[in-house]
Amino acid sequence: MGEVNLMDRYPRSSRPIEERKQTVTEADRELSRQFGKDYFDGDRKHGYGGYYYHPRFWTETVKRFRDYYQLPEDASILDVGCAKGFMLHDFKQLMPKATVAGIDISSYAIENAIETVKPFLRLGNAKELPFPDRSFDLVVAINTVHNLPLEECKQAIREIQRVARKHAFLMVDAWRTQEELRRLEDWVLTCKTYMHVDEWKKLFEEVGYTHDYYWFILN
């Protein structure tokens, strides 16, 4: 298990934290947590404000994963919280012989997925992955499991550990300072489990997670 930033090639964007703090209500957060059209393709205060494919987002990041884990060309890859399948699309572009699978809780995202990988995506919850033990060479869950309540979050991480044959990578909302905690709480819409990085590490040990991880931190 290691703390490693495999998202360092993903483009960073400025986030209007103060604006969201002033305008977003708890009702807005509840709408976002439905993970429907409002979250993906609705008003920016409810989520992405339009979730569309662009190669600049995942192309370099999937290369980073391939090279770091030395994945074979026919690797099997699972994206937990795949949304519209953009990352898996780029994996298939990079590694045409790879076997890909995605799961997401959003029926809207699956129905509106990118066509190249749509047949490989299915509706489901991270806390109960519908795959046999040790099914995948790489399991990726980026900003996904923290959307579950604590006990379900733990179960989702156990499930990722179960279905990973070789490698797994998690990214979760976290903080190291009180200022980072304040900014995180002002920004988050869907996250239900977030904690200090040291608390996350203890949780990983508790549930038996032995793979890699990194943090989504607003600073």
| Contact indicator for 174, 196 with CB cutoff of 8 Å | yes
Residue corresponding to tokens 């749509």:
118
Q: Convert the pLDDT of each residue in 116-164 to its tens digit.
A: 999 999 999 999 999 999 999 999 999 999 999 999 999 999 999 999 9
Domain extents in the chain:
2-8+59-216
Q: Round to whole Å and give the CA distance between 96 and 200.
A: 35
pLDDT over threshold 90, residue 53? yes
> What is the reported pTM?
0.95
Distances in whole angstroms, Cα of residue 98 to Cα of each of 42, 74, 119, 120 = 33, 4, 14, 12
Res 14 pLDDT > 90: no
Q: Which CATH architecture has domain 2-8+59-216?
A: 3-Layer(aba) Sandwich (3.40)
Phi, psi (5° rounding) for residue 110?
A: -65, -45
